[in-house]
A and B are shown apart, each in its own frame.
Chain A
Amino acid sequence: MSWEFFLVTLITIGVAFGGLMGTIAYLILVERRLAAFIQDRYGPNRVGWAGLLQPIADGAKFLLKEDVIPGYVNKTLYILGPSIAVFTAMAGFAIIPFGPVDQAPSWMRFVIAPDVNIGMIYIFCVGSLGVYGVILGGWASNNKYSSLGSMRASAQVVSYEIPLGMSIIGVVLMTSSLSLNDILMHQANQGVLGWNVWTQPLALLIFFVSALAETNRLPFDLSECEQELVGGFHTEYSSMKFALYFLGEYAHIITVCFLTAILFFGGWQFPLIAEADSAYLGATLVKVVVLLTKVLMIILLIMFIRWTIPRFRFDQLMNLAWLGLIPMAAMNILVVMTAKQFDWPIWTLPLGSLAIFVAAGLIGTSGKFIVSDQTVDFSESPEGYVHVHS
């Protein structure tokens, strides 16, 4: 514990925090421009060149607006809500490696808290605390619409945590480690064909869908429904506290995109450009750039999804989680465990994923699902209801 260690940690935290904040501000601009592009209109393009100063204007507006605290709210919890949302999102970022940790020079570290051997569990543990921000915000507002919004949000978050956790068990079994850096190195050492996206495609799908729901992004942003329903858990929030909720949400999205890139797309590894043993001048920085590019691609994909797929209704969402994702994730774990136990060749894993996916699709579309003496019919449900005939 020398003072240099302390200083490096402090600088790492500062760089990560500042970078995260700046990225969030500009991601909102990117999202608005992208939305405008998809809807065939101009986005914000007046402040600065091509609207590049818009985030700063937004920030100034958030700071200068009057901070209203309604008289009927529970003041303590009302203020605690957004703080918890931001705190948990930031704490989750602590163990994300944003570069090649092993090759980092001593004066520069690519992760705030290195050598955490329970990395994935830590992220889920911090994420599960994030529910408090939503629940407390909705309840403390002392408003039926906010309470209903927080109920929707927390029911959704709680139900999507299960498939989210189950989907990565396959990846963890392949690597025999919960540490993000170990998972990344395992893929990097095997080259591009060792990426988990090839061996665990179903796990990627489940992870990504659950992550969208967990971060309250469309098509699962029932808790907010900014345009259609009456707000959500943050109906009563204004100015900076409202901004804090969205800061937390965007930080969560960035964390999830980092996780997707690291768990399934090989992290900083890319064929010919950034291999595990590449040692040319500036290779470390190239690896950082590769990882950040992958993350940016995933963020853009999430933004495209937002303006492409309509919102799920509450019961459709629950059906998807409990009847679709959880059984599929459980089957996937079973396949990976069997393959690991009997040393099956690696190509059986994608085959198994495909088989589970096709089977789930057949059950879902052919539609008769017999539970004891009753038939649950999925096919007669244009609105997404499940009809049960006895």
Chain B
Amino acid sequence: MNWVSENIALIGTLVLLGANILLLFPSTGRKSGIPGFLLLPVTLAALGWVFLQPTGDLVRDILFYMAAGTAVLGGLLMTTQRNPVYAALWFAVATLGVCGLFVINSAPFLAAVTIIVYAGAIVVTFVFVIMLAQQEQGSGYDRIPQQPFLATVLGCLLVGTMLLGIEKTFGPDSSRLSVDRTALHVSSLSVENDLGSPGGVGRSLFTDYLFAVELAGTVLLVATIGAIAIAPRRPQGSL
């Protein structure tokens, strides 16, 4: 098929990624995850080779590879960890990697707020719940995925579709479906100045998206009042 041969790089990378995830998944029969970890650098290199091209600015490239690699690695290991506490911590690492990408693309405010909200609040809550609820690491059937193959295939299909969509929308030649490496390079997308600074974010929120912001604020207020109304009142005592 013509389409397949044009996108062979993308499909091959996705297959490699899927195989790696399958190898990293904990299972009952196999104890060691060493093959998965050995394949990991190959997968990361393939991802980089297909989607990334150096822009010429060495420092920026190194920072980009570090941040992107951290995000992908954190995501992979989060999915495949047997221990839920480690999974939550890898989620935090993946968030930090994504925040690094935000900083590189001159959106420091977004990066800081993402760290506060995700790594600082949400993952901490996850860790809390896991630590409180987890009794002796959970049972065996909780520690291995039920449908590893199906999950991997569907996930990789989803990622591939999204990447193709991005390429089709933002690529230089939208009619062509083959992966143009320069078009998909994230840091080559032009970023408007000042958009990521606190002032830029505020201006955009309170002019272009004012209605959405007000709506979200109202919904949050209603939710807060509802939470107070639902919360049980203790007749005596404080906590």
Contact = CB atoms under 8 A, between A and B. Distances in A.
A118 B115 contact: no
Interface string B118-142: 0111001001100100000000000
A118 B233 contact: no
B198 A118 contact: yes
Interface string B183-215: 000000000000001100000000000000000
A380 to B, nearest CB: 12
Interface string A103-141: 000000000000011100110110011011001100100
A178 B198 CA distance: 8
A131 B131 contact: no
B25 to A, nearest CB: 20
A121 B121 contact: no
A354 interface: no
A117 B121 contact: no
Contacts of B85: 77, 139
B124 A158 contact: yes
Given A121-B113, A129-B115, A135 B121 contact: no
Given A125-B116, A178-B198, A386 B238 contact: yes
Interface in B209-239: 233-239
Contacts, number: 75
B92 interface: yes
Contact of B236 (A121, A154, A158, A388): A388
Nearest to B108: A118
B109 interface: yes
A225 to B, nearest CB: 18
A271 B89 CA distance: 49
Contacts of B34: none
Contact of A128 (B59, B116, B128): B116
Interface string B14-42: 00000000000000000000000000000
A151 B124 CA distance: 11
A323 to B, nearest CB: 10
A385 interface: yes
Contacts of A129: 115, 119-120
Interface string A278-321: 00000000000000000000000000000000000011001100
Interface in A152-205: 154, 158, 161, 178
A1 interface: yes
B104 interface: no
A139 B124 CA distance: 13
Interface residues of B, number: 26
B112 interface: yes
A374 B235 CA distance: 10
B239 A1 contact: no
Contacts of B198: 117-118, 121, 178
Contacts of A390: 233, 235
Nearest to A134: B124
Contacts of B128: 135, 151, 154
A147 interface: yes
Contact of B124 (A116, A131, A314, A315): A131
Contacts of A131: 120, 124
A118 B124 contact: no
A255 B218 CA distance: 37
A128 B197 contact: no
B112 A118 contact: yes
Contacts of A388: 233-236
A117 B113 contact: no
A116 B106 CA distance: 12
B236 A135 contact: no
Nearest to A127: B120
A99 to B, nearest CB: 24
Nearest to A123: B112
A381 to B, nearest CB: 8
Contacts of A124: 112, 116
A387 interface: yes
A72 to B, nearest CB: 13
B236 A122 contact: no
Contacts of A374: 233
Contacts of A117: 108, 197-198
B63 to A, nearest CB: 13
Contact of A132 (B92, B131, B233, B239): B92
A387 B234 CA distance: 9
A128 B108 CA distance: 16
A118 B196 CA distance: 10
Contacts of B239: 314-315, 318
6 contacts: A124-B116, A128-B121, A129-B120, A374-B233, A386-B238, A390-B235
Which 4 A-B pairs have CB atoms at the shortest separation, nearest pair first? A128-B120, A121-B112, A315-B238, A125-B112
Interface of A: 1, 77, 116-118, 121-122, 124-125, 128-129, 131-132, 135-136, 139, 147, 151, 154, 158, 161, 178, 314-315, 318-319, 374, 384-388, 390
Given A121-B112, A135-B127, 12 more contacts: A121-B109, A121-B198, A122-B108, A125-B112, A128-B120, A132-B127, A139-B85, A139-B131, A151-B128, A158-B121, A388-B233, A390-B235
